[in-house]
Structure 1
Amino acid sequence: MESSTESIGRAEILRRRAASHGLGTRPASLDGPAGAVDRLFALQGQDLPGALWSLGLRSGASLPEVMAAFDDGTLVRSWPFRGTLHMLRAADVHWILKLTAERTLRSAARRREDLELDDGTLEQARKLTERALAGGNRLGRRDLLLLFESAGISTAGQRGYHLLWHLSISGTTVLGPMEGKEQLFVLLDDWVTRRRDLSGPEALGELVRRYLTGRSPATAADIAWWSKLPLTSIRSGIAEVSGELEEVEYCGTVHWQLRTGTPPAAGREHFRRETAHLLPGFDEYLLGYQDRSAALEPEHAPLTVPGNNGVFKPTLVLRGRVAGLWSRKASRAGTALTVQPFSPVSDRDWNAVGRAAARYGQYLGTPVTVQRRLATARPGHPGAAPAP
């Protein structure tokens, strides 16, 4: 019997993924930054300025509007997936940590030994933090580290970062309100008073549903890599919500997507088609998948992640494909963007880049200019332009 699974090509999977991400079209209205997070579930957020732009790009919100969603307790940052900072709904933190924290902390046991952070030291840091943040107090990273040092807990090297990381993954703290350009630590249970309570198969099903809402089509391996949960758990989650999903085939591999006709936020959006996007580094459009080959050509990967060091540069995306890099320089006069494609770009595409830059300027609330750079050849290839 012939399979009824739809087979799609590269252009189609990129079109569908961009639409899932809220990038294939320009939203005229969404439920602000919170609506963008509802679509993406959680967005990688170790680079705070870039992470905030990921939300502004997908919601049409300005930078002050995005920051306000953290100040009012709607959104937070924590380390729920892969031991890496993410932005997510405050109400989702508890059930996600219940699902992922034990596995993450267990995987870091050797690292704690190397840093000489025993259980007694971790408990001392937790008690100090709880006392300092009690009653709704909030502290920045530097002040918390000074607190540890004053109590005789060394924060030298990576010890300080690991202590802050451990406190959040174990459910003591979360990054909540802003103070200038810094996000402050607060006590998780005090700051997040409304929370969802999910566990077991229901939690796995919700994770799969929410991941696919903002990233489909994707494979089970993509979800397992992103969440750092076992593939068997992800398959259980897929089975839990199987009635909401359908299979498509891309490059001979089964990908999952929400059933046609049930797009996120159906009926609440009006779109204008856009073909160019200026994505920040670490954006979920690339970071959301184990296999990024549909959007990123192999020869462009060393330019996007130089030295394969895990640091992703801001990217220019044209019609779903990573087509170049960009950087910015702020001054009193405004913000100057330098856009450097990997190959020559048509006037029509440059016009689309100009519209993308204008959206970035609206987000920042500042005038934006665009400087075009010569196309970038492969590293070491004759004629390669210097990276921005």
Structure 2
Amino acid sequence: MLEGMAETTARTIGGAERRARLGVRHRLAGSARGGTAEEVAGALVALHGTDPASVFLSVGARLREGVGPVGDVERALYEDRSLVRMHGMRHTVFVFPAALAAAVQASTTDPAAVRERTVLLGHLAAGSAFDAKWLAETERLVLAELAVRGEATGSELGLAVPVLRSTYVYGKGTRQEGVQSVASRVLRVLGMEGRIVRGRPQGTWTSSRFRWAPADPHPALDPAEARAELIRRWLAACGPATEADLKWWTGWKVTDVRGALASVGAVRVTLDEGTGFVLPDDVDPVPDPESGADAEPWAALLPALDPTPMGWQARDWYLDPEHRAALYDRSGNIGPTVWWNGRVVGGWAQRPDGEIVHRLLTDVGAAAERAIAAEAERLAGWVGGVRVTPRFRTPLERELSGG
């Protein structure tokens, strides 16, 4: 047994209890919905940010009636900066509470940034005359320009700093050989190192043409302590989970996952798929909102790449394996999903005319169908005339949308 790890308990946590935890902790059950974007993001630990629209749709699905997510998310991201968009787990862009950014940077992003800089320098050395000194001077010019402007797009920075428009030959001598621009790679490295941050995009809230701005500096944290903090937050939101779930979600080495579990004193419990972990103060059973006199069934329409369906590697406890082919693309990215009481029961899409349509893959009964239809109507109400097309298309989403 790892030092610091609690002994295996007699507790077995089955799928029903895990779904009960999910409904409340992920702000999906009606009484658990949040009042602000910050509250929702804090409950989920991170909002998947690869597709900009997913951030807004994920928050909107979890806000109380009458709260408009678009303005609230934009305020948090671009005015208050209480939420920050940055690279995190698995080298992927997420939106985190600003208070958690330092832990993500130290535990996850810094090691990835070191590798990213090393790879870029290797590509420059192989395909151009540029070296580390040239790269450092280019970065200095970019940071100086942003300090004056406050924010700028990559194109605007390229006009102001002409060397940023330089190119290099990628994959020289291979089938993949081609000419690439330096700009996107330099801005990516600076962003991963926490020196610049994505700001308000051009266009609507679905746009990925972000402006860049100087980043608020993160306090330096010990990487091991940072990993423990991130695991603590994640287990509070998503526990119980297996070691494999945690390794997949974080992208860390298994030794780092085990060290973090030991640091927080994680308690072993029994799950259908094997040994899982919860925090020491989270062993007791939780109320089940699906049954009893105070039953609170809930419906939700979650977007592509939502943090709930993308939260665990093992998903059978909330997703019928027979539905995976329709709801995931070939790379494992989930599309828009319909939920009923903690289970994925179908998918949804938006047609070119803006209509929200859905299809159930499971018989859920008339009451559930009415609740799901009401959620679809609520979603359509605040999306308005904005057209939302997931970045990663899945079979069912393509079929429903007609695209």
Q: TM-score normalized by structure 1?
A: 0.79
SS of residue in 2 equivalent to 1:58? coil
* Residue-by-residue CA offset, 1:222-244 (whole Å, 9 max, x unaligned): 222212222222222222221xx
Q: In 2, Cα distance between the equivalents of 1:158 and 1:301? A: 37
Q: In 2, Cα distance between the equivalents of 1:29 and 1:148? A: 43
Matches within 5 A, 1:158-237: 160-177=183-200, 180-181=203-204, 182=207, 183-189=210-216, 195=218, 197-237=220-260
Deviation at 1:176, TM superposition (A): 3.2
Moved more, 133-142 or 319-328: 133-142
**What is the match of residue 52 of structure 1?**
56
Deviation at 1:217, TM superposition (A): 1.7
Instruction: Give the residue type in structure 2 aligned to 1:220.
Output: E
**What is the match of residue 27 of structure 1?**
32
**What is the match of residue 340 of structure 2?**
318
SS of residue in 2 equivalent to 1:59? coil
Deviation at 1:347, TM superposition (A): 1.9
* Residue-by-residue CA offset, 1:77-113 (whole Å, 9 max, x unaligned): 1112211110012243234222223431355455764
**What is the match of residue 298 of structure 1?**
321
**What is the match of residue 22 of structure 2?**
17
Q: In 1, Cα distance between the equivalents of 2:62 and 2:339? A: 14
**What is the match of residue 253 of structure 1?**
274
Q: In 2, Cα distance between the equivalents of 1:172 and 1:79? A: 12
Q: In 2, Cα distance between the equivalents of 1:107 and 1:65? A: 35
Deviation at 1:213, TM superposition (A): 2.2
Matches within 5 A, 1:288-367: 288-306=311-329, 308-329=330-351, 335-361=354-380, 363-364=382-383
* Residue-by-residue CA offset, 1:112-135 (whole Å, 9 max, x unaligned): 645758645543442232022104
Q: In 1, Cα distance between the equivalents of 2:313 and 2:157? A: 35
Moved more, 336-345 or 2-11: 2-11
Q: Within the alignment, does 1:42 sit opposite 2:61 as a pair?
A: no
Question: In the alignment, which of 127, 132, 138 is matched to residue 151 of structure 2?
Answer: 138
SS of residue in 1 equivalent to 2:312? coil
* Residue-by-residue CA offset, 1:15-52 (whole Å, 9 max, x unaligned): 2233222223443554x111112212222111111111
Identity %: 25
Q: In 2, Cα distance between the equivalents of 1:111 and 1:151? A: 14
For the 8 Å contact 2:86–2:197, the answer to whether it is kept is yes
Cα 1:13–1:44 change in 2 (3 A) is: same
In structure 2, stretches of 5+ residues that fail to align are 1-6, 169-178, 286-293, 387-393
Q: In 2, Cα distance between the equivalents of 1:159 and 1:302? A: 38
Cα 1:216–1:3 change in 2 (3 A) is: closer
Cα 1:201–1:309 change in 2 (3 A) is: closer
SS of residue in 2 equivalent to 1:325? strand
Instruction: Give the residue type in structure 2 aligned to 1:103.
Output: P
**What is the match of residue 85 of structure 1?**
93
Deviation at 1:149, TM superposition (A): 5.7
Cα 1:122–1:303 change in 2 (3 A) is: farther
Cα 1:314–1:69 change in 2 (3 A) is: same
SS of residue in 2 equivalent to 1:184? strand
SS of residue in 2 equivalent to 1:208? helix
For the 8 Å contact 2:76–2:82, the answer to whether it is kept is yes
Q: In 2, Cα distance between the equivalents of 1:119 and 1:329? A: 49
SS of residue in 2 equivalent to 1:273? coil
For the 8 Å contact 1:73–1:176, the answer to whether it is kept is no
Deviation at 1:284, TM superposition (A): 0.8
* Residue-by-residue CA offset, 1:235-259 (whole Å, 9 max, x unaligned): 22222221xx543311252222342
SS of residue in 2 equivalent to 1:286? coil
Deviation at 1:287, TM superposition (A): 1.5
Q: In 2, Cα distance between the equivalents of 1:338 and 1:157? A: 40
* Residue-by-residue CA offset, 1:341-361 (whole Å, 9 max, x unaligned): 224453222111122224324
Matches within 5 A, 1:39-118: 39-60=43-64, 61-62=67-68, 63-71=70-78, 72-108=80-116, 109-110=118-119, 113=122, 116=127
Instruction: Give the residue type in structure 1 aligned to 2:269.
Output: V
SS of residue in 2 equivalent to 1:198? coil
Moved more, 2-11 or 203-212: 2-11
Q: TM-score normalized by structure 2?
A: 0.76
Q: In 2, Cα distance between the equivalents of 1:249 and 1:350? A: 34
Aligned residues: 356
**What is the match of residue 300 of structure 2?**
277
Cα 1:342–1:179 change in 2 (3 A) is: same
Q: In 1, Cα distance between the equivalents of 2:332 and 2:273? A: 28
Q: In 2, Cα distance between the equivalents of 1:287 and 1:121? A: 40
For the 8 Å contact 1:75–1:176, the answer to whether it is kept is no
For the 8 Å contact 1:205–1:241, the answer to whether it is kept is yes
Instruction: Give the residue type in structure 1 aligned to 2:369.
Output: W
SS of residue in 2 equivalent to 1:35? helix
SS of residue in 1 equivalent to 2:317? coil
SS of residue in 2 equivalent to 1:126? helix
Q: In 1, Cα distance between the equivalents of 2:98 and 2:235? A: 20
* Residue-by-residue CA offset, 1:168-213 (whole Å, 9 max, x unaligned): 1122211134554254211113xx5xx5553244322211111112
Instruction: Give the residue type in structure 1 aligned to 2:18.
Output: I
Instruction: Give the residue type in structure 1 aligned to 2:336.
Output: P
